[in-house]
Amino acid sequence: MFQNIGEMVLLFWRTLQALPLLWRQRDKVFEQFFEIGNASLLMVSVLAFFLGGVLALQTGPTMVERGLHNFVGGLVGISIARELAPIMMAILIAGRIGSAMAAEIGSMRVYQEIDALRTMNINPIHYLVLPRVVAVAIALPMLVTFAILVGWLGGAVVAQATSEIDISMQSFFENMKIMVELKDVVNGVFKSFCFALIIGVVACHQGLVTRGGPRGIGRSVTKAVVNAIVLIVMFDYVLTRILLTLGKFGIV
Amino acid sequence: MNDTAPNHHGVSVQVRGVRRSFGTQEVLKGIDLEVKPGEIFVIMGPSGSGKSVLLRHIIGLEPPDAGEILVNGESIHTADLATKYRMAMVFQSGALLNSITVGENIGLYLTEHRLKKPEEIARIVSEKLEVVGLKGTEAKFPSELSGGMKKRAAIARALVIEPQLILYDEPTSELDPLSSIVIGDEILKLNKRIGVTSLVVSHDRDLAFGIADRIAVIHEGQIVALGAPDEVKRSNHPIIREFIHADFKREK
pLDDT digits (tens, 9 = 90+) for A3-59: 788 999 999 999 999 999 999 889 999 999 998 988 899 999 999 999 999 999 999
pLDDT tens, residue by residue, B13-29: 999 999 999 988 899 99
Q: How far is CA B200 from CA A204, B46, B163, in A?
A: 33, 14, 14
Instruction: Give the model's confidence band at B47: pLDDT under 50 very low, under 70 low, under 90 confident, else very high.
Output: confident
Q: How far is B235 from chain A (nearest CA, A)?
A: 35
Q: How far is B177 from chain A (nearest CA, A)?
A: 25
ipTM of the shown complex: 0.85
pLDDT tens, residue by residue, A162-213: 888 889 999 999 999 999 999 999 999 999 999 999 999 999 999 999 998 8
Contact in structure between A167 and A73 (CB atoms under 8 Å): yes
In degrees and rounded to multiples of 5, residue A229 shows phi and psi of -65, -45
pLDDT tens, residue by residue, A61-119: 998 888 888 889 999 999 999 999 999 999 999 999 999 999 999 999 999 999 999 99
- Supply the mean pLDDT for chain B: 87
Checking B176-182 for CB contacts under 8 A at 24+ apart, the result is: B176/B148, B177/B206, B179/B148, B179/B151, B180/B204, B180/B206, B180/B207, B182/B133, B182/B148, B182/B152
The residues near B158 (Cβ < 8 Å, ≥ 6 apart) are: B88, B89, B90, B166
Task: Read off the DSSP letter of residue A8.
Answer: H
Q: Is A21 on the interface with B (CB under 8 A)?
A: no
Given a cut of 90, whether residue A226 has pLDDT beyond it is: yes
Interface test with A, best of B77, B83, B86, B89 (most A CBs within 10 A): B89
Average confidence (pLDDT) over B111-136 = 91
In degrees and rounded to multiples of 5, residue B25 shows phi and psi of -90, 120
Vertex B67: Cα angle to B63 and B68 (nearest 5): 70
CATH T-level assignment (fold) for domain B1-86+163-246: Rossmann fold (3.40.50)
* pLDDT the model gives residue A252: 67
Given a cut of 80, whether residue A161 has pLDDT beyond it is: yes
Chains A–B, number of C-beta pairs less than 8 Å apart: 48
* pLDDT the model gives residue B1: 39
* pLDDT the model gives residue A30: 93
Q: Which of A78, A77, A84, A94 is nearest to A51 (CA)?
A: A84
Chain A residues with beta carbon closer than 8 angstroms to that of B95: 111-113, 115-116
CB contact under 8 A, A121 and B113: yes
- Sketch the domain layout of chain B as residue ranges: 1-86+163-246, 97-161
* pLDDT the model gives residue B3: 41
Global pTM reads 0.86
- The nearest alpha carbon in chain A to B96 belongs to A113
Contact in structure between B106 and B96 (CB atoms under 8 Å): no
* pLDDT the model gives residue B49: 83
Q: Report the SS3 class of residue A145.
A: helix
Q: Report the SS3 class of residue A214.
A: helix
CB contact under 8 A, A112 and B93: yes
